[in-house]
Amino acid sequence: MTPRPTPADLEAARDAVVDDLLPDPLRLLVVGINPGLWTGATGAHFARPGNRFHPALAAAAITDRVIDASEGYRDEDLEHLRAIGLGITNLARRATARADELSDDELRAGARRLVRTVLDHRPGAVAIAGITAYRTAFEAKKAKPGRQYAWPETARQAARELGVADAPDTALEVLDATPLFVVPNPSGLNAHATVASLAAAYREAADAAGMERFGAVR
């Protein structure tokens, strides 16, 4: 863990790159838009106080506790995320104060990187947090939230180009076999979402990934 970041720490975190969390096996891969400055400063995903991501995971019984990542991950919390197979990545890797600081080209490049990650790590399901960013990244202007019953053509084209190494199945077979969801953005700026509505969306994706349900959250 790190000390709670100061305003100077947050400013210094601009454009920081945060490592993906990619356990093996990878059951559910959650895809954020990009790291915020709080995540850039602490190295923990969805770390800013007020972000509903970790409370929603607990409310969905995906985790067995509400993880407080505001000062970075505690060892036992990071181990728990790895043990349940929860992965976290972002469309754009650099930290910014707001997602609207990103360019469309960055998001489109991130979509291709995500396809590469899916082909390499083969998650049980993918949940992209944020419909607007999803539409831009995958050039899917008419997409609606929820389960996507096919990957966008831009993703399928990327899979064809990227391929998979030393495997009997093709990249398109891997991609098509991976359930894809667009779930609400857990940021406190998303006034349309609540912990309960986030939990319901995340649970649907977790069920598709075959993740277990925990009992009462402590």
pLDDT at 215: 76
* pLDDT value at 189 more than 80: no
pLDDT at 53: 96
Average pLDDT value for residue range 40-53: 94
Please give the structure tokens belonging to residue 196: 């309960």
In the structure, what pLDDT confidence band is assigned to residue 3 with cuts at 50, 70 and 90? confident
pLDDT at 1: 66
In the structure, what pLDDT confidence band is assigned to residue 141 with cuts at 50, 70 and 90? very high
Q: Of all residues in the chain, what percent carry a pLDDT higher than 90? A: 84
pLDDT at 163: 86
Average pLDDT value for residue range 175-200: 91
Provide the CA 213 distance to its chain's centre, in angstroms. Answer: 19
Average pLDDT value for residue range 23-47: 96
What region, left, alpha or beta, does residue 43 occupy, with left being phi > 0 and alpha being psi -120 to 50 degrees? left
Contact 209, 28 (CB under 8 A): yes
Average pLDDT value for residue range 28-42: 96
Angstrom distance (rounded) from CA 29 to CA 47: 17
* pLDDT value at 94 more than 90: yes
Tens-place pLDDT, residues 152-169: 999 999 999 998 766 656
Burial class for 128, CB neighbours closer than 10 Å (0-12, 13-18, 19+):
buried
In the structure, what pLDDT confidence band is assigned to residue 191 with cuts at 50, 70 and 90? confident
Average pLDDT value for residue range 122-149: 96
pLDDT at 42: 95
| Mean pLDDT of the residues in the chain | 93
* Domains in the chain with CATH codes: 7-206 (3.40.470.10)
pLDDT at 217: 55
Average pLDDT value for residue range 4-24: 93
Three-state SS for 19? coil
Angstrom distance (rounded) from CA 91 to CA 74: 25
Angstrom distance (rounded) from CA 218 to CA 131: 31
Which candidate, 142, 135, 169, 33, places its Cα nearest to that of 89? 33
